Every structure is written in structure tokens, then in C-alpha cells.
Structure 1
Amino acid sequence: MAELAPPAVGDWDFPRGTASIELMTRFAAERGLPAGKLLAVTTLSPELLADPAVQVDARQELAVVRALAELDGSDAAALELGRRYRASTFGIFGFACISSPTLRDAMVFALRYFDLSFAFCIPHVELRDDRLTLELDDSRVPADVARFLVLRDLAAIVTVMRDLLPEITLEDLAFRHGPSAMDAYETTFGLRPRFGAGACRATLDPALLTRPLPQANDQTVALCAAQCEALVARRRQRSGISQQVRERLVRLGGVDAGMDEIAGQLALSTRTLRRRLTEAGTSYRALVDEVRQTLAEELLDTGVLSVEDVAYRLGYAEASSFIHAFKRWTGMTPAAFARRFRAARQAPPGR
């Protein structure tokens, strides 16, 4: 069995917009639940919640999920919530999927940019001649909300797939947990699932992959894909576990305390930190270089410190090692960099 495409991320710890939190607070209010309790567990004001440009850490959304589940953590509530997530909920990411030529194209696109979604369970889509399976990995989701999020995320995925191709039906569906609220399962998925299975897994007819999507548009999907690429590049660069490591390196002034020390500050093992950075598309060494380059440029730009002083402040034992590293980062020596910025500051306005 071959994987259709690997998901872009292996963990839920990626930044998100506020649309999902807004949807959950509205869902709670409509059900007569105290929606204010959901927003209270975040750092968001109602104004920020309504701003589509605001980005939040995944843990803020997780806190809202946990608060909602404490108010009503039933299977029926989780499934109904999942059905509220439509393709339009995901903004440009959703429009790209809708505009894709076929269901296969849409699924590959969604997996490639999965960190533009609001999911916590990571999907793996596998294909062989007679079976297309979608399995949700919840192994890293906190246990107290794992069942709630499995149901919410799978219900959302199936709902969005039907937005793309209304005739989609599931051939089989299995969950690890036990049965409850069977009517809600049938309403959401169109069949009675099996329970007590080894994984959360949905099975579809692989012939669906080649079906043309009714709203396919080559120009629209190309435009949306370009915007998604730019958005996800910014998010992956400056957020999540990478940003947590950056912040600690900056506090140390760019001095490399070692990966073991940074991992300890994050309450992670060194192996786990290395794996999570790899999943985020970077490495500890790359982040050290990035922080050191940024700090070096800022220090050199002051015009006050010598190259030797900057090297010392960044933790280099010898200035020559710093000069070699700086030239590798920027293509010029620190002295040449400082001269260039000094000349730019002294140039008359308009020149």
C-alpha cells in the first residue's frame, strides 16, 4: 500500500488563524453554552478574534478545545462541531482545494499544506488497487481531548471532501473507542462505524480520486497555490518549535548553549527536539546560525563594536571563526558589511 502523499507536518504544533476558535465560540453560544469561557482561556480579545490576519499558537486553540469539551465533550457535540468546518472555513487553502482538477489533486494539495488547516490529528492517505484509506494519527494529541478531536477532525475532513465532491461516500469506517450516539455517527458519515478497532480509519472507493471536481478552475487553483505557498513559508519560518528555540537562543545573546541545554529548557529530550525540528523543516544548527546572523548584523550596524567584540558577544572563541561563519551567511566579511551600512547611513537623502 503506497502513501498518496506525505503530510507536510508530523505534529499538531503549528500556528493557525483564528477562524477555528471563532467557529467554536459561536458553536458554544448557539448550544446555550457559556462561550465566554472559551475565549477566556486565550490571549485573544473579540476584536483580535475577528481579525483574519491574526495568527495564534496551536496551544491556544487546544485550550479552547479543552474548554469546550469540558462544557460538552460528548461524541454528538464533537461530530456536530466537525460538520461546521466547511471548505470556506479554511480561506485560501479551502478555495485551492475546491478549485483543484480532481479529488486526487485536492487531497495531495491538502496534505502538502496541511499546516494551513486547524486539525490536531495527522492524516495519512494510502492507496492500492481496491482501497483508498484515510487514517488519523492522534498519538501526539493530549489524551484528555483525543477522542473529541478525532471525531471533530474526521467529521471536518469528510464534510470538506463532500464540499469538493458531493457524491463522496465512505465504504467503511472504524474507531478505536467504544460506541456512543450512533445517530450522530450515521448523520455525519452516512454509515454505522465499527468500534474497538486498531486505528481511526475511513475507507473510500479509489475511483473517486479521478473524478473531476465541479468547481475546478486552473487559474484559480494556481493563484490560490501561490498564496498558500507564501503564507505557509512565513508560518513555518517564524513559529512553532522553531520559534521557541529561536527565543531561547536570543535570550542567550546568540551564544550556543548546546542542543541538550535548549531541549532541557523546553522540557524535551534532545532526541525529541531534533525530531520535531526536522518535522518543522529545520535543524538546531540552522537556527543557531540564523539567530547569530541576525544578532551579528544588528551589532555591526550600530557602528560601535569592533568585529572582535561582536565575535566575543556571540560566543566565538576566535574572531576568525566568526568572520568565516559571517562570510558563509552573507557572502561578505563583517568589516565589509559594516562599511556598507555605514555608507548607507551617511548618504544624503534621496541617493
Structure 2
Amino acid sequence: MTRYAEERGVDAATVLRGTGLSARRVADPGAQLEARQELAVIRNLVASFEDRHVLGLEIGRRYRASTFGVFGFACVSSPTLRDAIAFALRYFDLSFAFCIPTVEVADEELVLSLHDERVPPDVREVLVDRDLAAIHTVIGDLLGTALPLRALALRTEAPGRAARYREVFGVTPGFGAPANTATFDRVYLDRPLPQANEHTMAICQAQCRELVTRKRARSGTAQEVRSRLARPGGLGMGIDEIARELGMSQRTLRRRLDEEGTGYRALLDEVREALAEEMLGTGALSVSDVAIRLGYAESTSFVYAFKRWKGVTPAAYQRGFGR
């Protein structure tokens, strides 16, 4: 994003204002940016350009599989597009996307939805455009050819910019739709990828697992809470019980977690997600069994939560993304 700004005459210092980041740090491929820092960069970009309505598309088109480092290389080296998408959904935490993706595979097509409800309203349109354009471009990289879309739908109202979307995606989007969706023919799912390499994929996937583990690692009060939730029977502990064990009031516990950028519900979600992956991965438990063990009163609530975490249902996750 800083390179894009500089090419258009805006220096890196302006784009990075208020982020606490230096140009040297963002140029480091191994540097990890916090969500708040990236949002600040996006807002600085929006403030710097008058044509903010094409900003997301312009930035998204610049993304390539290599932009995502080892995560991208794992996708590139996957056997098929289906495998790459399944992997990307599983390790979504390693992507740059703010919108949460979910996937539905029908008889003849795949529908990718980008959920933007949690994206700040002032940058929502930019980030939806960026994420959609980036996904479309990267899938083209994986296939070795542009991916033709059957349809594109956007929640935003922007009929005056239809031509720009058509230039990027090859179709005219429907505006004012109930959801942001991109639809393409499912025949592309099982086409062998030109750079598929089993050995490379295994190495990259192992590195991605390590990165996710490291990213989920907590310290301080958050780690104390997480460790209690993760122990046998811990999912039944409420915040009041955990606060008593830690020798503090609920109010103090909430404040400390907030200072560390998290909260009780977020940590409970983290633990449930990790345990769900582990239990579903064994293949020994049904979806309803896993839901019960995770403390859900109904399987439907677990299915909804899992789809929010991973972009697919628990059953599809067990099957290997609808294979």
C-alpha cells in the first residue's frame, strides 16, 4: 500500500502517520502489522486521494500469491484450486483480509461471500473492494489464467462505477445486494494447479501451522484466562469464576484483557476454535458430539460459529471441503 501511494505522489511518512510504523519496518517481509495499524494506513490513503471509490480495486489488483509469503506459497503449491481454497479458509488468520470469507458449493457453481459487518463503516467499501479484487487476482495466479466470474454482487450502492468493476472482474456487478458475493463455475475447483508440488506444500503448510500457533499464543492475563478455558472442563468457566481464581474482580479482569487487546468472549472463541479443529480432525466424533463437548446447547449454534471461524461448515471441513 505504501508503494502504491508513493507511485501516486504520496510519501510513506504520510501513509504511515499515526501507525507507529517506519518505512523500513513495513518493507520487511517478516514484519507483522496489527489490524489497527493497517486500518490507520487505509484511512490515511482514503484521506490522501480524491478517487477513494476506486482505491480498494487498485490496491487489490496489486496483490499476488507471493504477497502473502509462505501462506501464498502453500496455496500455489496445492494440487487443485479446491485444496488451495480449503487451506486458505483454514489458515485465514494469516491473510491480510478484514472481511470474513465463507464458501458455498452448489451443483454447478461456487459462491464466495465476504462478510463485512465487523469492518469499520468509514473504510468498509475500500476493504470489500480490496479483498474481492485481491482474491480474484490471486486465484488467477493459482490457475495460471484469469478466473471468469458468473456473477458479482455488492452491498454498496455504486452504479456510476459499474464500468470500473467490469474492467477488474469481467462482469457488471449487482449493487445494493444483501451480501457481497462472487460466483464462478465449480469446474475450476478440481483443475490441477500448474505449480502444484507436494513437497513444497508440506513444508509451507507446516510453517503456516507454526505461524498460527505463534499468533494465537497469549501472554499476561490473557494467557492466564486462556489456559483455564483450555483445561478439561474449562469451557464451562464463566468470567466470574476465572476472576476469583486469579484473585481479582470481574471489572479488573475485563480491564486488563481490554488493555491486552482481547476479551473473555474472544478468548473463549479462540479455545473453542482450536479444540474444534482438533476434534473434527480425528474423524472419530460427529458434529453434534463436538458441539456438545464445546458447550453448545444446539448443533446449529456450533455450525454457525465454525462457519464464522473457518468459512465452511464443520461437516465440509471434515470431508475436506466438499470433495
TM-score, normalised relative to structure 1: 0.66
CA contact (8 A) 1:25 1:36 kept: no
Q: Deviations over 1:66-87 (max 9, x none)?
A: 1111222622221011001110
| Percentage identity across paired residues of the two chains | 53
Cα 1:245–1:83 change in 2 (3 A) is farther
Cα 1:260–1:282 change in 2 (3 A) is farther
> Could you tell me which amino acid in structure 1 is paired with residue 167 of structure 2?
T
The 4+ residue runs of structure 1 with deviation greater than 6 A are 243-246
Matches within 5 A, 1:287-306: none
For residue 199 of structure 1, report the CA deviation from its aligned partner. 0.7
CA contact (8 A) 1:120 1:149 kept: yes
Aligned counterpart in structure 1 of residue 3 of structure 2, from 15, 26, 38: 26
Equivalent pairs counted in the alignment come to 250
Partner of 2:213: helix, strand, or coil? helix
Matches within 5 A, 1:7-86: 24-72=1-49, 74-86=52-64
For residue 52 of structure 1, report the CA deviation from its aligned partner. 2.5
For residue 170 of structure 1, report the CA deviation from its aligned partner. 0.7
Matches within 5 A, 1:1-351: 24-72=1-49, 74-165=52-143, 166-179=145-158, 180-238=160-218, 242=222, 255-264=246-255, 273-281=263-271
Distance across 1 between alignment mates of 2:14 and 2:182: 34
Partner of 1:28: helix, strand, or coil? helix
Greater Rg, structure 1 or structure 2? Answer: 1
Q: Name stretches of at least 5 consecutive residues in structure 1 with no aligned partner.
A: 1-23, 247-251, 284-351
CA contact (8 A) 1:242 1:282 kept: no
CA contact (8 A) 1:102 1:216 kept: yes
CA contact (8 A) 1:99 1:217 kept: yes
Partner of 2:217: helix, strand, or coil? helix
For residue 184 of structure 1, report the CA deviation from its aligned partner. 1.9
CA contact (8 A) 2:78 2:196 kept: yes
Partner of 1:194: helix, strand, or coil? coil
For residue 267 of structure 1, report the CA deviation from its aligned partner. 6.3
Partner of 2:248: helix, strand, or coil? coil
Q: Deviations over 1:39-83 (max 9, x none)?
A: 122112222222233323211111111111122262222101100
Distance across 1 between alignment mates of 2:225 and 2:165: 41
For residue 112 of structure 1, report the CA deviation from its aligned partner. 0.7
> Could you tell me which amino acid in structure 2 is paired with residue 168 of structure 1?
L
Q: Which moved more, 1:60-69 or 1:33-42?
A: 33-42
For residue 183 of structure 1, report the CA deviation from its aligned partner. 2.7
**RMSD of Structure 2 on Structure 1 (CA):** 2.6
For residue 266 of structure 1, report the CA deviation from its aligned partner. 5.8
CA contact (8 A) 1:174 1:199 kept: yes
Structure-2 residue corresponding to 1:304: none
Partner of 1:193: helix, strand, or coil? coil
TM-score, normalised relative to structure 2: 0.71
For residue 243 of structure 1, report the CA deviation from its aligned partner. 7.0
Partner of 1:64: helix, strand, or coil? helix
> Could you tell me which amino acid in structure 2 is paired with residue 28 of structure 1?
A
CA contact (8 A) 1:103 1:213 kept: yes
Distance across 2 between alignment mates of 1:68 and 1:133: 30
Q: Deviations over 1:295-319 (max 9, x none)?
A: xxxxxxxxxxxxxxxxxxxxxxxxx
Cα 1:243–1:118 change in 2 (3 A) is farther
CA contact (8 A) 2:17 2:44 kept: no
Structure-2 residue corresponding to 1:310: none
CA contact (8 A) 1:242 1:280 kept: no
For residue 262 of structure 1, report the CA deviation from its aligned partner. 2.9
CA contact (8 A) 2:74 2:201 kept: yes
